[in-house]
């Protein structure tokens, strides 16, 4: 069954979110409107991550010179470190004024915990209800209330490479399927190179979600997150075994650091491919000054043509934010056309808003925008970046995956993930 972008967003994510109920939390009584400063927490620090945020900070400074932007960014891809710090602060009732959260099940966890304010009034004030895709708004809505402001749409299912490396190795084109990848990988290994570079645990999960997507297809992949696909079924076990084969051709043994060093191995020609989200475009273009198509290129990860594995970064207003009025100004900028068109071309993402200035999205980003807005594109949600699994389940998947990449026991991993789903759904 083909599923349209809108249908996916409406069915898969929103259904689960609407069932979430927000409980209230003591706001601490310190919410007098202070507009002098806004403290924002994200993980957009360093190469390939910071440029887009800096553009929004500059815009804020121009529009509101009275507000000092306190950048509480915490380095670490996919927010691994930022999320841990944030959890400590939320538990201590010491939130920043706004923080980054993915749309989907990740924000649903905060809504359930009563950590974030209802922002429906900002949507009404700014007319955003008709300016963001309805399906996307549904992923940040619970009981009719909207809880965050999405700044972008990122794509997870991408495979990056350097054309010259392929030419040097006599590879005509990147693989269209993971089986084709394995054939190439054996030849690449024989020539003394790594077929696929990989980074820390979250990048291993990022690869896993896209192997599952490529091997199982849209419907079965979607079913993994709503109980309809059996994690212990033969098809899932086979896909997991394929993942084990794929990572046997990676540099996982020496993996560390973050996604950028893994991408560096591709840039240097030591490794041939890397599966990563399109923030990599910002790194390759902005930091490495390489040219799209000649210097670097990208294709949909094997088996995922016509599919957009999406995620969306959004910003919240935490309950008890000390500078609520300034936070509202920040959030209004995040949701504005000007803000999104300043941020996204540098971030390697496309705007969440539907009325973007298309002329600002060139090269790779033009293709992303075309695919996202193509009604026949099938949209699924990312596991690693918060769309499809709640925080508790996702954390248990991390633990199980840590074991799985070491022991290759696909059946045990499938059983662990299935058990965890039943426990946390």
Q: Enumerate binding residues for ligand GAL (CB under 6 A).
A: 43-44, 49, 77-79, 154, 277, 279, 311, 313, 385
Q: How far is the CB of 106 from ligand GAL (least distance, A)?
A: 9
Q: How far is the CB of 150 from ligand GAL (least distance, A)?
A: 11
Beta-strand pair 37-41/98-102: parallel
Q: How far is the CB of 155 from ligand GAL (least distance, A)?
A: 11
Q: How far is the CB of 164 from ligand GAL (least distance, A)?
A: 26
Q: Which residue has the tokens 């507000």?
A: 67
* Shortest-Cβ-distance residue relative to ligand GAL: 77
Between 205 and 418, name the residue whose CB sits nearer to ligand GAL.
Answer: 205
Distance CA 248, CA 238 (A): 15
Provide DSSP, 305-335: TTEEEEE-EEE--BTT-TTHHHHHHHHHHHH
Between 223 and 386, name the residue whose CB sits nearer to ligand GAL.
Answer: 386
Residues with Cβ within 8 Å of 60's Cβ and at least 6 positions away in sequence, in order, are: 38, 67, 69, 329, 330, 333
Q: What are phi and psi of 400, to 5 degrees?
A: -65, -40
Tokens (6 digits) for 126:
């700014």
Q: How far is the CB of 7 from ligand GAL (least distance, A)?
A: 23
Between 178 and 343, name the residue whose CB sits nearer to ligand GAL.
Answer: 343
DSSP state of 336: S
Residues with Cβ within 8 Å of 399's Cβ and at least 6 positions away in sequence, in order, are: 416
Q: Which residues pair with 311 in a beta bridge?
A: 154
Q: How far is the CB of 110 from ligand GAL (least distance, A)?
A: 15
Between 184 and 312, name the residue whose CB sits nearer to ligand GAL.
Answer: 312
Q: Which residues pair with 101 in a beta bridge?
A: 314
Between 72 and 184, name the residue whose CB sits nearer to ligand GAL.
Answer: 72
């Amino acid at each position: 069954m083909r599923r349209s972008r809108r249908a996916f967003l409406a069915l898969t994510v929103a259904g689960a979110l609407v069932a979430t109920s927000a409980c209230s939390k003591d706001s601490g009584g310190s919410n007098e409107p202070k507009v002098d400063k806004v403290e924002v927490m994200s993980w957009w620090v360093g190469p390939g991550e910071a440029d887009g945020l800096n553009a929004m900070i500059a815009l804020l400074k121009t529009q509101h010179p009275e507000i000092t932007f306190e950048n509480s960014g915490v380095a670490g891809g996919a927010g691994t470190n930022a999320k841990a710090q944030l959890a400590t602060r939320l538990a201590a009732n010491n939130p920043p004024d706004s923080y980054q959260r993915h749309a989907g099940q990740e924000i649903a966890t905060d809504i359930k915990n009563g950590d974030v304010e209802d922002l429906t009034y900002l949507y009404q004030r700014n007319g955003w209800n008709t300016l963001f895709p309805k399906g996307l708004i549904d992923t940040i809505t619970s009981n009719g209330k909207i809880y965050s402001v999405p700044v972008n749409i990122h794509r997870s299912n991408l495979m990056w490479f350097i054309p010259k490396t392929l030419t040097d190795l006599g590879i005509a084109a990147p693989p269209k399927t993971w089986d084709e990848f394995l054939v190439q990988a054996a030849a690449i290994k024989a020539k003394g190179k790594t077929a696929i570079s990989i980074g820390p645990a979250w990048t291993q999960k990022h690869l896993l979600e896209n192997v599952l997507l490529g091997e199982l297809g849209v419907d079965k992949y979607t079913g993994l997150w709503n109980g309809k696909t059996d994690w212990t079924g033969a098809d899932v076990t086979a896909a997991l075994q394929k993942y084990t084969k794929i990572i046997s051709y990676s540099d996982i043994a020496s993996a560390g650091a973050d996604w950028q060093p893994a991408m560096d191995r591709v840039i240097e020609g030591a490794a041939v491919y890397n599966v990563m989200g399109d923030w990599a475009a910002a790194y390759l273009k902005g930091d490495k000054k390489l040219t799209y198509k000649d210097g670097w290129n990208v294709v949909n990860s094997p088996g995922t043509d016509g599919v957009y594995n999406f995620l969306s970064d959004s910003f919240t207003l935490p309950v008890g934010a000390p500078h609520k009025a300034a936070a509202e100004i920040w959030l209004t900028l995040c949701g504005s056309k000007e803000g999104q068109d300043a941020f996204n071309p540098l971030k390697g993402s496309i705007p969440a808003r539907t009325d973007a200035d298309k002329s600002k999205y060139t090269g790779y980003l033009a293709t992303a925008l075309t695919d996202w807005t193509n009604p026949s594109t099938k949209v699924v949600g990312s596991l690693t970046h918060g769309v499809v699994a709640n925080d508790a389940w996702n954390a248990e998947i991390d633990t199980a995956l840590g074991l799985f990449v070491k022991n290759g026991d696909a059946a045990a991993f499938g059983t662990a993930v299935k058990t965890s789903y039943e426990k946390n759904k």
